Structure 1
Amino acid sequence: MTIFSEATRSASTGHDYPRGVAQQPDRITAGTEGVVNDQQAASGSVYAKPPRNQHIELLRVFAIISIAVFHVFLSWFTQAAGLGAHQQQIVDSHAELLAASFPSMWAMGVINLLGSWGNHVFFMISGFFLIPSLAEYSHEFDYWRSQVVPTLKRCLTVVLSVLFYGFIALAVNAWIMPLPGAGSVSWWGMGLEFIWLYLVFVALAPMIAWGIERIGSAKAEILAFAVLAVVYALNAYIAFVAQGDLDGRGLGDWRKQMSAVTYLVSFIFAGLIGKRVRNTSIGGSEPKARQWWRKPRIILWMMIAVCLLTLLLTGVLAASGRYALLYALSFKSTSLIACALAVLALLFCASVQRSIRVAAVFRARVVSALAPGILGFYIAQSLMHALWFAPCYAAMRTMLAHAMGQGAAVQAMWMIAFFAFGIVFALLFAVVVCLFDRFLRQPVLRALRLLR
């Protein structure tokens, strides 16, 4: 199963077939598995489904971990950067120790970029699988009628997942510990903005795919690059000039709307990448010399170059004490660096043909157990933020308290412990939630025939 198996793979076949085995997409998504009659096969209304890419599965796991690590350190970073009071967050004097440490601020600046990167991967992987499959089938006579039920199922999966974790969170709030805002409109609404954006994108996917197929891939790619340039020019203005009142943003704020547009562009852009990869895999006419995006070594070196430049830039800003700029570099959805790295990571995973040893080790157990849980993880960590954040914050604060007033060597030891604990906690937290999701939410959805 994939990270969004309930919403992406069902658009095509719902199963993984060897290349060359034809399946009829809408028949499968409607619930009739593997049904292709002779007349459909003769008319050419069947398509080859490439095998599942295990490297993209592994990318999903890395995205979960990145998002978890980001949330653990976010509050500390904003406080150390002097932005805690501006964002109406708690202001802890212990964060001054972090602000005085160049390595600590450098590390947290990079970690903040990881969160933005993970969010882009969250949307990109869905677009990568969903849009090409729908676009390929959009020429069929019954395209619109056949997509009503699958689209409703994908949307219903998201809504029921929110309700599932929402009721658990309300039970925690009633019997275990209070969760701030539990049951409020903002708790169900803006607190889950990424999930509701994903729901909207999934609902729009059939129209997006239909439009891309009518425009043509080449023209759609040119248009996408143009839109991308405009979006990130506006994002740069938001991040470095006009962040505004972060706590007072509502749906009517143009910066909040730009966040939605940015992730929609990521979703569509990844769909175009997936379409190009899919078309080339089944016999596209583009010369191999021009297919640089299918050469993993080239993409890997590009990723290394971007990572080194990112480390250099964040290091310079941290060393010079320009913490506001360091924060703006990874501000919410506006980070061009995070988007570029997400695109390159997706291209790399899509271009690798032979198995990587790491992927082979994790494929059977870890990846299959954790990757499908990212939807549940996003919902659970948002609705039950206080449940996991409070003990984590208290432990990390204690470590900083031990470092206060100590010599350089002792302080360095406690700083290392501070970061090690935060990363390990985030990793374990992600694993626990994803396994919980695997054994509770996913079986419920299977029982409702929304998952396979």
Structure 2
Amino acid sequence: MQPKAARNISIEALRLVAVAGIAIFHTFQWTFKAICTGMPEYASLAAFPYSGVLGSINLLGCWANEVFFMISGFFLIPSAVRNLQNGLSTQALARKSFARLKKIVLPTLFYCAACLLVSMYVYPLPEISLHEIGWLTLGIEFIWVYAASVLLVPAIALARQRIGSKRTPFVVALLVLTTFGINGYIAATTNEVAGIVLWRKLMSAVTYLVAFIAAGEMRFVLECHDKASSAQKSKIVLIGLIAATVALELLLSANSQYDALWKLSYKSTSVISFILAAVSVAAAALHQPRHKVPAADKVIASLAAGTLAFYAVQSFTCNVWRPIFDNVIYAMATGIQTGEPHPSGAILLGILMSLCLALALLIMDIVRRAVIDAMVHVYHLVRSSR
């Protein structure tokens, strides 16, 4: 049995940053929408520079979604391609994908069952019941699309082999351009008819898969260049893109262009977040830490392993924690209790609450994994003693 490959701690740290991004994004999601639709109660947050900060937070959430898919695509697709080139059969490759699928589906089903039991016997979680399926389908669309992407790895690797290594980058580039062409049309459509909302959800899923495929091809491209030089360039490009993105958001905020702020950052269909995610993954994958701190690395890897658990539980419980967070942010931003609005305090408090929630859920999953590992260990001890 081959030893497991060492984790790239920079990639694991990027996963944690993405978790934080998702948590903060979900906390301010409806507040940002209220600002962009001109709700007068949120006038203090609509002012410059606060609307620009919230616009950047919205993009942060879009970026985080893309990062999760790109990290997996960056490693899984090239690995599958090389396995095929080394003579591994498609059936064996499919079995490896199913083994990975279990690591996604089983923890998700565990939390589905846990939240359902809590809702039935401890505290009623809104919309979590045996009579509704939305919480199990579109409620965790991200996880099911991720599972489907992992399952499609053998097919993607086979397609790349058929197309050829020289033509594949152009095919993938065309796929990305086509996807964002459709996304651009959707973002420009202001009429919220029933069809366009469904199309937005579907295109979010398509964009996730495209990000997954594009990241796999990006790794092949990066391998053709000097690693040290590419690492330095990717960091410079990433810093420049972040600065330009924040400047754009602040410029739109200063000119009260709320409609543009909204359209630039609709979920995963934002081209800005896609480019930022690609450069972030490249920079993290190429980065080589000068000093290793085993204890810190272990903590980062342990917390990052709970990414999907975090996503599932925060989705299942959003109708419990989100109203509380919304009310706290609203009260501070409007000064409804103190008589004086504190928009900056509201944003900082919202970020702090988001990070605390994310950390609590990640630690909860560490405990779950420790308990399961202990149970498996005891089971093997009992079996071996017989």
TM-score (norm 2): 0.88
Partners of 1:243 and 1:272 lie apart in 2 by: 36
The C-alpha deviation readout for 1:46-79, integer Å capped at 9, x for no partner, is xxxxx43221111111111011010011111111
Structure 1 residue 170 displacement after superposition: 1.5
Confirm or deny: 8 A CA contact 2:238 2:279 kept in the other structure: yes
Q: Which amino acid aligns with 1:377?
A: F
Unaligned runs of 5+ in 1: 1-11, 17-50, 84-90, 281-285
Q: Which moved more, 1:172-181 or 1:308-317?
A: 172-181
Confirm or deny: 8 A CA contact 1:54 1:363 kept in the other structure: no
Residue in 1 that maps onto 2:287 = 352
Structure 1 residue 392 displacement after superposition: 1.9
Confirm or deny: 8 A CA contact 2:35 2:45 kept in the other structure: yes
Structure 1 residue 176 displacement after superposition: 4.2
Specify whether residues 317 and 405 from structure 1 end up closer, same or farther in structure 2 by C-alpha distance, changes over 3 A only: farther
Specify whether residues 341 and 402 from structure 1 end up closer, same or farther in structure 2 by C-alpha distance, changes over 3 A only: same
Partners of 1:440 and 1:422 lie apart in 2 by: 27
The C-alpha deviation readout for 1:322-365, integer Å capped at 9, x for no partner, is 1111011111121111011111111111222343x6x7487434
Alignment partner for residue 195 of structure 1, among 120, 137, 143? 143
Partners of 1:221 and 1:446 lie apart in 2 by: 46
The alignment partner of 1:97 has SS state of: helix
Tell me the number of residue pairs that the alignment of Structure 1 and Structure 2 aligns: 375
The reply to whether residue 125 of structure 1 matches residue 71 of structure 2 is yes
Q: Which amino acid aligns with 1:70?
A: F
The alignment partner of 1:138 has SS state of: helix
TM-score (norm 1): 0.76
Specify whether residues 178 and 64 from structure 1 end up closer, same or farther in structure 2 by C-alpha distance, changes over 3 A only: same
Specify whether residues 97 and 354 from structure 1 end up closer, same or farther in structure 2 by C-alpha distance, changes over 3 A only: closer
Q: Which moved more, 1:131-140 or 1:334-343?
A: 131-140
Alignment partner for residue 434 of structure 1, among 359, 362, 365? 362
Partners of 2:324 and 2:32 lie apart in 1 by: 18
Residue in 2 that maps onto 1:421 = 349
Confirm or deny: 8 A CA contact 1:120 1:338 kept in the other structure: yes
Partners of 2:247 and 2:254 lie apart in 1 by: 10
Structure 1 residue 292 displacement after superposition: 7.7
Task: Give the 5 Å matches for 1:11-26.
Answer: 15-16=4-5
The structure where helix makes up a greater share of residues is 2
The alignment partner of 1:217 has SS state of: coil
Q: Which moved more, 1:229-238 or 1:166-175?
A: 166-175
% same residue: 32
The reply to whether residue 260 of structure 1 matches residue 205 of structure 2 is yes
Partners of 2:77 and 2:60 lie apart in 1 by: 25
Alignment partner for residue 391 of structure 1, among 309, 324, 341? 324
Specify whether residues 154 and 242 from structure 1 end up closer, same or farther in structure 2 by C-alpha distance, changes over 3 A only: farther
Residue in 1 that maps onto 2:372 = 444
Specify whether residues 171 and 205 from structure 1 end up closer, same or farther in structure 2 by C-alpha distance, changes over 3 A only: same
Partners of 2:199 and 2:143 lie apart in 1 by: 19
The alignment partner of 1:178 has SS state of: coil
Unaligned runs of 5+ in 2: 378-386
Specify whether residues 213 and 445 from structure 1 end up closer, same or farther in structure 2 by C-alpha distance, changes over 3 A only: farther
Residue in 2 that maps onto 1:96 = 43
CA RMSD of aligned residues (A): 2.8
| Higher relative contact order, chain-length normalized (CA < 8 Å, sep 6+) | 2
Confirm or deny: 8 A CA contact 1:293 1:299 kept in the other structure: no
Residue in 1 that maps onto 2:381 = none
